[in-house]
Amino acid sequence: MNLRMDFNVKRLAADAGTLFSRAVQFTEEKFGQAEKTELDAHLDNLLTRAESSKHWTEKILKQTEVLLQPNPNVRIEEFLYEKLDKKVPTRMNNHELLGQSMIDSGNEFGPGTAYGNALIKCGETEKQIGGAEREFIQSSAINFLTPFRNFLEGDFKTILKERKLLQNKRLDLDAAKTKLKKAKMADARALAEQDLKLTQSEFDRQAEITRLLLEGISSTHAHHLHCLNDFVEAQMTYYAQCYQYMVDLQKQLGSFPSAFSSNNNQSTASAAASVSVPILPLSAPLPATTTNASSGFTELQNFSGSRKARVLYDYDAAGSNELSLLADEVIMVSSVPGMDSDWLMGERGNQKGKVPITYLELLN
């Protein structure tokens, strides 16, 4: 028992002596009173690159978290749940909340009405977008955020630990050099030379360990590149899903021309109403649908022949059987037996395809 206590006291005294010599060496270096062993250029460059990797990884991680969850309060809540190792409660996102409000209001106005039916369809699409957003966030968190966070909390902390140890070994080495310079007696010089040889060996060994860890940053960058590809693919999938959902919704809304005309018949002021269909200008005024125009379409659909029509808005064809349109251009339109009453066959030179009548104005 006494031997163990004696050993611990000696070890404590030795550690205290080492810490003191490091402190003295560090202070003398700051005041220019002692020489400092410089790291080789390669190791110094690796340390600089590691610091740069840490800085930009933290920045990218933070901004991605803001992108995926703009609400800071929710981010804090999710962080606390993660630290407590508890499951984050499921909540509806903004798209899903909007979709539910649209569905509820559509049911209130009546699914049998054009407006109510359109609200329900829009609400269902918003909820689909909300689901796609949820999948995108989950995929990004697993395949992009987690590897970045693991680097900062794992690999880089190990690098910091070994770099600090290298700094201590460097101070020990320089303190041994200073001790050798100050030694006058032969015995003191021999002891100092032995100490210098030992500290030089420990410094070289620690420098090699640190170098190997720092060179591993290249592997980290390669892994993060793979994660970045996964993130881009997740974004591409998410936006493609959203685009397809909106294209499908637009085609469904295009089947409600009577809703537009009934709104326009309520008052002449409603001729300046706005349409929120994506490919139409958000502030584009709807033309007043007159009785003559309506009868013109009816006449065209009931009899063979073709008429000139002016395009009111740009239209992107949703399929190969449709014709894309540009606002203000003039095309020829005709009716085809068996075609939906909301569509006509449009012709522009050698191009031919279905066009929605709500985008057209017949010309005399």
Structural domains of the chain sorted by starting position, each given as residue range(s) with its CATH number in brackets = 35-255 (1.20.1270.60), 299-362 (2.30.30.40)
Give strand pairing partners of 343: 356
- pLDDT at 147 > cutoff 90: yes
Are 300 and 335 contacting, i.e. CB atoms less than 8 angstroms apart?
yes
- pLDDT at 240 > cutoff 50: yes
Specify the range with the lowest mean pLDDT, choosing from 5-9, 64-68, 327-331.
Answer: 5-9
CA distance 208 to 215: 10
Are 288 and 268 contacting, i.e. CB atoms less than 8 angstroms apart?
yes
Overall pTM > 0.75: no
Indicate the SS3 state at residue 265. Answer: coil
Which tens digit of pLDDT belongs to each residue from 249-304?
998 887 665 434 444 444 333 333 333 334 444 344 444 444 444 556 666 666 66
Over range 108-136, report the average pLDDT: 93
Are 216 and 155 contacting, i.e. CB atoms less than 8 angstroms apart?
yes
Over range 124-136, report the average pLDDT: 95
Residue, of 75 and 148, whose pLDDT is higher: 148
Cα angle for residues 6, 7, 9 (degrees, 5° grid)? 65
Tokens representing 79 are: 């962080």
Are 308 and 361 contacting, i.e. CB atoms less than 8 angstroms apart?
no
Tokens representing 285 are: 């005024």
Range ranked top by mean pLDDT from 200-204, 294-298, 318-322:
200-204
pLDDT computed for residue 278 by the predictor: 41
Average pLDDT in the chain: 81
Specify the range with the lowest mean pLDDT, choosing from 59-63, 76-80, 247-251, 284-288.
Answer: 284-288
- pLDDT at 83 > cutoff 70: no
pLDDT computed for residue 263 by the predictor: 44
Specify the range with the lowest mean pLDDT, choosing from 34-48, 71-85, 136-150, 300-314.
Answer: 71-85
Residue, of 189 and 98, whose pLDDT is higher: 98
Over range 81-94, report the average pLDDT: 76
